[in-house]
Structure 1
Amino acid sequence: MNVVVFDLETTGLSPERDGIVEIGAVRVVDGRVEEDLRYETLVRPTNAAGEPMIIPWHAERVHGISNEMVRRAPTIEQVLPEFLDFVAGSPVVAHNIGFDGGFMRENARRLGLEWKPAAELCTVQLSRRAFPKERAHNLTVLADRLGLNFAPGGRHRSFGDVQVTAQAYLRLLEMLQVRA
């Protein structure tokens, strides 16, 4: 299946109160991760009123994206139309699609745009099906389970997470087809 695998980094956990600080995505075409077909940008976060937001220290501690790094970055108002063009109605994949999809839906709604991928697929759910006896399904654990490695500095940065999520997606599909 041809899909767009994407990941967001944010200022917090609430799509209604927090902002997006980074978007990373890559296309998977005919079962291959196409690194040349990628989307990657920092985003200067704004609140629901379009006012600038500060990245809280606890969020920066997770992803390493500082206020200085996004000071000159485009806002979501500039970035989201481009990203929606990149997705172009394709099915999308994310690790915990409820989180990333929730931020996309809320930001699209806020800007009068539509988040309408052909389908939303979740590697957490695929991992639960492939490893039903395991309790942990976060991306680090899943990568270890599948023998995948993050690029140096890649964990908790959108494109680094996307690279591993795309590889995990393909491996999980293979595993689940064998069991079917």
Structure 2
Amino acid sequence: MSQQTHQQTPPWYLGRLCGFDLETTGVSPERDRIVTACVVQCGANQPVQSATWLADPGVDIPEGAAAVHGITTERARTEGRPAGEAVEQIVTALTAVVLSGIPVVAMNAAFDLTMLDREARRHGVQPLTDIVGDDLRVVDPFVLDKHVDPYRRGKRTLTDLCRHWQVPLDGAHDAAADAVAACRVAWRIASTHAVIGAASVDDLHAQQIGWAREQAESLADYFRRTPGKEQRADSVRGDWPWVPAQRSGGQQ
């Protein structure tokens, strides 16, 4: 009976997926702020459900960041909702997804989920991981790609992964476009690599914790052996899918 039930269960990537992406004021989860966000449910032959946010981060958006995602300080102040309100709504949306058993697909999840965690704590919002605990299941195309093709040369941004896996990406660095593209890349990897596609979401989440740690150790070792990059090794973190606040050692 159990074997028959298992055979009737479709692989995870054919079920409902939830893409999650942030655009921010910079690349430090400890210091920077959320500017835009998207939580989009897709797949399983059901309609796409997308929610997006534009926040006023309460600080100036550096020109370099605005050049990437297109949101200036002026626009954020004029059109954005208060940061604390946006963060609370993002956490609420992801909580509903997680508690319904849908995996969260996030490119380089350790950045986005850590950023959301720090913003929640900054604004007095109960963090996602404190609410859902061990129910959180994450699929990270960045970790999956490095696992199935560790020696491929070149960058591994979402744009690069979309190009490699032949996934359309309309409007890179737009949170909504990136969230959907991350789901498509995850689907492509899972559909072409049985070790990914045949795993249960529970097992895949656990495996990614180990893979992310191994990938971080390899990167840190590379930095140590590369002249001029030695000090960068100290900043490499192997925590996944988020960096616990008490271990971050950074500015809150």
Where structure 1 has 5 or more consecutive residues not aligned to the other structure, the ranges are 46-51
The corresponding residue for 1:168 is 185
Please say if residues 26 and 34 of structure 1, whose CA atoms lie closer than 8 Å, have aligned partners that are also in contact.
no
- Range with greater deviation from structure 2 (89-98 or 163-172): 89-98
Q: Which runs of 4+ in 1 moved over 4 A?
A: none
Shift of 1:89: 5.0
User: Compared with structure 1, are the counterparts of its residues 16 and 132 closer, same or farther at alpha carbon in structure 2 (3 Å cutoff)?
Assistant: closer
Cα distance in 2 between the residues matched to 1:122 and 1:104: 16
User: Compared with structure 1, are the counterparts of its residues 159 and 3 closer, same or farther at alpha carbon in structure 2 (3 Å cutoff)?
Assistant: same
Which is helix-richer, 1 or 2?
A: 2
User: Compared with structure 1, are the counterparts of its residues 164 and 5 closer, same or farther at alpha carbon in structure 2 (3 Å cutoff)?
Assistant: same
After superposition, give the CA deviation of every residue in 1:54-103 in whole Å (9 maximum; x if it has no partner): 10111111111112221231122111222222221513221101110110
User: Which residue among 75, 93, 97 is the counterpart of 1:69?
Assistant: 75
1:57 and 2:63 correspond: yes
Matched-pair identity in %: 29
Query: What is the TM-score normalised by the length of structure 2?
Result: 0.62
Cα distance in 2 between the residues matched to 1:163 and 1:113: 26
The corresponding residue for 2:119 is 107
Where structure 2 has 5 or more consecutive residues not aligned to the other structure, the ranges are 1-11, 199-252
Cα distance in 2 between the residues matched to 1:171 and 1:33: 19
Shift of 1:178: 6.5
- Range with greater deviation from structure 2 (16-25 or 72-81): 72-81
Map 1:16-31 → 2, pairs under 5 A: 16-30=30-44
Helix, strand or coil at the partner of 1:43: strand
User: Using CA pairs below 8 Å that are at least 6 residues apart, which structure has the higher relative contact order?
Assistant: 1
The corresponding residue for 1:133 is 151
Helix, strand or coil at the partner of 1:22: strand
Larger radius of gyration between Structure 1 and Structure 2 = 2
Cα distance in 1 between the residues matched to 2:143 and 2:47: 23
Which is strand-richer, 1 or 2?
A: 1
1:79 and 2:86 correspond: yes
User: Which residue among 30, 47, 55 is the counterpart of 1:43?
Assistant: 55
